[in-house]
Amino acid sequence: MVPDSIAYILSSAAGSPTSDWAAKVEWLEAQGALRSEDAAAKAVSLPDDGGALARLTWLRGRGYPVDGDAVLAAARSGNTTVLQYLLAEVPADDAGPEAAFHAAGGGHLASLQALHTAGWLLHQYSNESAILAARGGHLHVLAWLLEAQLSELNSVAFKAAAGSGSVEVLAWLRQRGCPWDSHAYSEAVKAGCEAALEWLVEQGCPMEDSGQPYIDAWRSGDLAMARCLRRLGVPWGPDGKVFFFAAATAQFAISPLPLLRWMLEHGCPVDRKLAAKRMKEWRRGMPQRARQVLEQLGELVARRQP
C-alpha cells in the first residue's frame, strides 16, 4: 500500500466514531503507517469534548505530533478542553487567525476566549471574527467581542447579521449604534427571513433601490420572498434590470414561469425590445426545454399591457 494512502487511512481511523478506533490505529501502525499530524486533527474534530481529549492524549503518548491544523479542528468543533491542551503545545503563529474565525463563526465563545488568552485572537483580525459571529447569529460572541473592546461595530457586521435572519441580533446591533446600509435587504432575502425584512423596513433602514433583493429572491426561486419585498415597497430598481436578469437565467431555473409570471403581473419593469432580442439569441442551440421556457416567457411579455 502507498505510504500516503495508509497514513490517510490511519488518520480516518483516529477520528472514527466506532469503539474499535484504537485497534484500527494499532493495526495500521503495524502495517507501517507513519505517525502524522493529521491523526490528531481528525481525533479532536469529534463532537464529544471528553472523548476527543482522551484520544488526543492516547495518540500523543504514542508519539503523534500536533500542529495548527489540530488547533483549527478543535476550535471548529468547540472542544475547549482539547483546545486548551493544544494551545499549551502549539505556537500561536502556527495557524494565523483562522482558529478564532472558526470559533467565532461556530458560536463557541469559551473556545474563542481560550484562544484570546493564549494570544491567538489577533487584534487586527477581530473585526472579521465579529462579522462571522454576526453571520451565524451568535449574539453572545458579539457581546463579548464588543465588551472586551476587540472589535468595532460597522455596516459589514450589520449586513452579516441580516444574513443570519436574527432580528434579535439586528436589534441589538442598532441599539448600540451599529451603522447600517441598504445591503442588509439582500442579505435578509438570502436568509429567507421575512421577519428580518419587515424589521428593517419598520426601523427605517435605507431601502435598496438597485433591484438586487428581487434578483436574490429569483436566484433561490423564492416567490414568497419576492411577494414580501413587493408588499414592503422595495423598489424594482432600474427599468428592466430585474426582469432581464430573470429572463437571462430562466433556462437554468427548475420552475421559472410562476415567478416570472408574478413579476409581470406585479409591475416589474420590462425592456420588451431588449428582452425579445436576447431571447431570440438564446434560442440558438439551446436544449428543447430551454427553448420552451423562452417561448412561454415571450408569450407572457407579449400579453402584458404596454
Each residue's pLDDT tens digit, 232-242: 999 999 888 89
The residue-averaged pLDDT of 173-189 equals: 97
**209 in any annotated domain:** yes
The pLDDT of residue 284: 61
- Statement: residue 33 has pLDDT above 80: yes
The pLDDT of residue 59: 98
Query: Do residue 179 and residue 221 come from a single domain?
Result: yes
Boundary of a domain, candidates 188, 203, 237: 237
The residue-averaged pLDDT of 219-235 equals: 95
Query: Do residue 261 and residue 232 come from a single domain?
Result: no
Query: Do residue 300 and residue 249 come from a single domain?
Result: yes
- Statement: residue 124 has pLDDT above 90: no
**96 in any annotated domain:** no
Query: Do residue 193 and residue 218 come from a single domain?
Result: yes
Query: Do residue 233 and residue 157 come from a single domain?
Result: yes
**174 in any annotated domain:** yes
Cell of 280: 431570440
Lowest mean pLDDT among 66-70, 217-221, 261-265: 261-265
The residue-averaged pLDDT of 171-197 equals: 97
d(CA 105, CA 175): 22
Query: Do residue 176 and residue 209 come from a single domain?
Result: yes
Among residues 163, 177, 180, 245, the alpha carbon closest in space to that of 211 is found at 245
**257 in any annotated domain:** yes
**227 in any annotated domain:** yes
The residue-averaged pLDDT of 7-27 equals: 94
Q: Please report which confidence band the pLDDT of residue 231 belongs to, taking 50, 70 and 90 as the band edges.
A: very high
Q: Please report which confidence band the pLDDT of residue 179 belongs to, taking 50, 70 and 90 as the band edges.
A: very high
Lowest mean pLDDT among 9-23, 117-131, 243-257: 243-257
Among the residues of the chain, which ranges form H helices?
A: 3-14, 21-30, 37-43, 49-61, 68-77, 80-87, 98-106, 109-117, 126-135, 139-147, 155-164, 167-175, 183-191, 194-202, 212-219, 223-231, 241-249, 257-265, 272-283, 288-303
Q: Please report which confidence band the pLDDT of residue 247 belongs to, taking 50, 70 and 90 as the band edges.
A: confident
Query: Do residue 214 and residue 284 come from a single domain?
Result: no
Total domains, the chain:
2
Query: Do residue 218 and residue 273 come from a single domain?
Result: no
Query: Do residue 232 and residue 247 come from a single domain?
Result: no
Share of the chain above pLDDT 90, in %: 66
Most confident range (mean pLDDT) of 47-51, 112-116, 246-250 is 112-116
Boundary of a domain, candidates 237, 256, 273: 237
Query: Do residue 163 and residue 230 come from a single domain?
Result: yes
Tell me the average pLDDT of the chain: 89
- Statement: residue 217 has pLDDT above 60: yes
Query: Residue 78 in 3-state DSSP?
Result: coil
**185 in any annotated domain:** yes
**157 in any annotated domain:** yes
Query: Do residue 232 and residue 245 come from a single domain?
Result: no
Query: Do residue 198 and residue 222 come from a single domain?
Result: yes
- Statement: residue 243 has pLDDT above 90: no
Boundary of a domain, candidates 222, 237, 252: 237
**124 in any annotated domain:** no
Q: Which residue range(s) make up the domain with 158?
A: 153-237
